[in-house]
Amino acid sequence: MSKTKAEQLVELKQHFGRRVMDQARLVITSWHDLEEVLWNSTWLDEFTAQVHKLNKLANRHDNERIKELSAFLQQLLADVVPGKIPQSQVIESLSQTVQALADACSRDSDQDSQNRINGRRPVYLCGQSVAQSVNLAEQLNFFGIPIQVISTRQELQQAVLHRIPAAMIVNVDFEQDGIVAVQAAQKALSKPAPVLFQSEKEPNIHTRLAATRAQGVHFHIGQPDVGLLVKQLSAIYSMRPENPYRVLVVDDSRAQSTYAERVLNQAGMITHAINDPLTILEALQHFQPDAILMDMYMPGCTGIELARVLRQQTRYDTLPILYLSAEQDVEKQLDAIGQGGDDFLTKPVPRDVLITTVRNRCLRNRGLKQQMIRDSLTGLLDHINTLEALQQEVNQAEESNNPLTFAMLDIDHFKAVNDTYGHAVGDSVIRSLALYLRQRFRVTDHLGRYGGEEFAIILPNTPPDIAETLLNEVAAGFARIHHETGSKPINVTFSSGLAAWQPGLLGTDLSQAADIALYEAKRQGRNRVCVSGSE
């Protein structure tokens, strides 16, 4: 049956909307590459061209938010001189704008989950059984993962020629030898696709080596764990750009600190230099660095003395301290590391060594901090840090007078799930909900595990009516997900209570109001969303 003109217009609008989103993803991905390409002129030209194209597409198809952000990126890039490394303020502004672009794409995508799936490159699923593959594909689709089920080796070969996949999920027994099938398919790709291999039994070392050589990045044993697959595939699809690392440079020599800043800025890091070591505490509080790069000998105090001062304070106990000094005596270097330091770089240090060493320390520090503030089962903020994030957003709402909504979620009849199927299944349900929430909300929203089967969502710049619509959509989608129990799959629902910030309210007030609304949702029969203060 032929489509109506209205239906054709809708399809055309969706098509061009996906073009804007795809171009935005290219811009975001290119920004990811900055730390590897070190601001070379070729990268800068390509990044600038991609931003111009994005702005042109956004103007043509009336996407106001992306048009605004791409225009601002153009303004920032106009001030970047080819061959000259931008200062930290410019890098930070560019990074924040790319973050806002990712946020805009995320929220736009949330308006239509099918558009979000259609706009992504597919994941090719090559299972041992077509029926099982179709069931798994349906579950992954709920999480926004577009799956194309492949039933034969020939079909896989044709699929990779038609469209490059984001990844492949392949059973090692697919068409008798899934690894060989993948190796043949990879030869047709200009860049190998990551592969998640699956096997019913424990593979031996030879199978694991063969899988690794076929670009296998994960190996699943037994029944596919949907939650784990979603987590791994989400990392491949992630549009969230990592915030640039922040490095505090402490050196009484202005020339030396300027050199260190220039080298680190070239790798996309944000720096702040102080030439008076006695101002370090004020600089730390203001700048909040991921690492300190410090000279060992300075007037007023030594680097070792400063390190000992910092290690006396719990908040700076794990902050990496890297010495950059002309000191050649190995015993003195070891002594400096033994008294609070983490690394010792001897001047003159090659720029690649400086960049790699500082970057690795920043990376590990961020990872450690994330572990400290996040719940181990879900990877979401823990209870205390959820409340801290809520109060910070309340303070921000006070300053900007923007709307703010706080949501509390509780899994319905969770005790019955644990009692009937065991705590392992209960944990799997909790992980699945955490993953589903991360898929459905913006990068600027804060997600936390409030305790047990309770979750919390902080929605900045979101009025309660929009938050209610979003939570209802998420609740409906989560209710359709099948959770494996070892016997028969089950479906689980959740209830939610919302509270909107009003001037004068504290974070604790919002938390209490949302908790009361959540109780009301439970009282009304569960699997529903209630708003605090509504009739």
* Domain parsing of the chain, residue ranges: 5-115, 120-237, 246-372, 383-531
Measured at the alpha carbon of residue 524, what is the angle toward residues 519 and 527, in degrees to the nearest 5? 85
Tokens 């990877």 identify what position?
379
CATH H-level superfamily of 383-531: Reverse transcriptase/Diguanylate cyclase domain (3.30.70.270)
Which tokens in the block code for residue 359?
């970057």
- Cite the beta strand spans of 207-331 per DSSP E: 216-221, 246-250, 270-274, 291-294, 297-298, 301-302, 321-325
Gap between the Cα atoms of 266 and 287, Å rounded = 19
Pick the CATH number of 5-115 from 1.10.150, 1.10.260, 1.10.287, 1.20.120: 1.20.120
Give the domain 246-372 fold. Answer: Rossmann fold (3.40.50)
Q: Is the pLDDT of residue 89 over 80?
A: yes
For the domain spanning 120-237, the CATH number is: 3.40.50.2300
Max mean pLDDT range (136-140, 261-265, 334-338, 433-437): 261-265
Residue 291 burial (C-beta neighbours within 10 Å; 0-12, 13-18, 19+): buried
Reported as a single tens digit per residue, the pLDDT across 300-355 is: 898 999 999 999 988 898 899 999 988 888 888 898 888 888 999 988 889 899 99
- At residue 232, the pLDDT reads 80
Strands 147-149 and 123-126, sheet pairing: parallel
288 Ramachandran zone, left/alpha/beta (phi>0; psi -120 to 50): left
- At residue 13, the pLDDT reads 55
Q: 307-321, 433-447, 474-488: lowest mean pLDDT where?
A: 433-447
Task: Count CB atoms within 10 A of the CB of residue 45.
Answer: 11
Gap between the Cα atoms of 464 and 429, Å rounded = 27
**Torsion angle of alpha carbons 442, 445, 450, 453, nearest 10°?**
-20
Question: Please, which pLDDT band fits residue 17 given cuts at 50, 70 and 90?
Answer: low
Reported as a single tens digit per residue, the pLDDT across 145-167 is: 889 999 999 999 999 988 889 89
Task: Count CB atoms within 10 A of the CB of residue 405.
Answer: 28
Gap between the Cα atoms of 287 and 179, Å rounded = 49
Q: Is the pLDDT of residue 530 over 90?
A: yes
Enumerate long-range contacts of 296-299, CB under 8 Å, 24 or more apart.
296/323, 296/325, 296/327, 296/336, 297/325, 297/327, 298/250, 298/251, 298/252, 299/252
Mean pLDDT of 62-71: 88
What is the percent of the chain where pLDDT is above 70? 92
- At residue 238, the pLDDT reads 61
Cα distances (angstroms) measured from residue 304 to each of 128, 254, 282, 293: 61, 20, 18, 12
Q: Fold match between 5-115 and 383-531?
A: no
What is the percent of the chain where pLDDT is above 90? 51
Tokens 């990592």 identify what position?
242
pTM (2 decimals)? 0.65
- At residue 114, the pLDDT reads 44
- Nearest Cα neighbor of 196 from 168, 172, 173 is 168
